[in-house]
Copies of this chain bind each other. A is one copy, B any other.
Amino acid sequence: MEIIDEKEWLACCGSSEFAKQMAMASPFASLDLAVAAARDIWFNKVNVNGWLQAFSAHPQIGQSHISSSAPSSPSAQWSKVEQSTALATATTFSLEELHKWNAQYREKFGFIFLICASGRSTDEILAELKKRYANRPIVEFEIAAQEQMKVTELRIAKLFSTKTKAASPTVS
């Protein structure tokens, strides 16, 4: 049973309502139970303002290194690792293209382009951005929320794995 506090939940998903409700539902006997609770809270309890709040906590994709708010926060560090494949495969051209499309996306939808970037190349991310750009705003809003949940699940798993390691008994 892992003790995870509200601040740690907030690093998994930047909605304060999500973090509050996860802290209230804690502790969880397993990672699976924590993820199930997170999914229920995120999709059924957190409202559209909470979704927007969580979205705004992310650095823009391709820009994790200049995250302005709290570059050394766990959330910012996680973003950096999650985007590492994208950054490793980026060329100056593809980054400029990504930057341009990110701006257009934000202009249309009112929030940044969100994608679970783990293991994806810049070209894959750019192709997905261009495809999703055609969506109706409300449709894209729900897709972004699903991507946010994927990111949250990865982060919860990391959190559990860190805690489990820390809690392992020393062989004596």
Q: Which residues of A contact B (CB under 8 A)?
A: 43-52, 108-111, 136-138, 141-142, 145
Contacts and interface: CB of A to CB of B under 8 A. Distances in A.
B136 A48 contact: no
B136 A43 contact: yes
A160 B158 CA distance: 59
B137 A46 contact: yes
A108 B47 contact: yes
B141 A110 contact: no
Interface of A is mostly: helix
A137 B47 contact: yes
Report how many copies the assembly holds: 2
A143 to B, nearest CB: 11
B141 A138 contact: yes
Contacts of A51: 137-138
A22 B98 CA distance: 31
A108 B50 CA distance: 11
A142 B137 CA distance: 11
A145 to B, nearest CB: 7
B110 A47 contact: yes
A162 B158 CA distance: 62
Nearest to A108: B47
A141 B139 CA distance: 12
A29 to B, nearest CB: 26
A44 B18 CA distance: 29
A49 B51 CA distance: 12
23 contacts: A43-B136, A43-B138, A44-B136, A44-B137, A45-B137, A47-B109, A47-B110, A48-B48, A48-B109, A48-B110, A48-B111, A48-B137, A48-B138, A48-B141, A49-B52, A49-B110, A50-B110, A51-B137, A51-B138, A138-B138, A138-B141, A138-B142, A138-B145
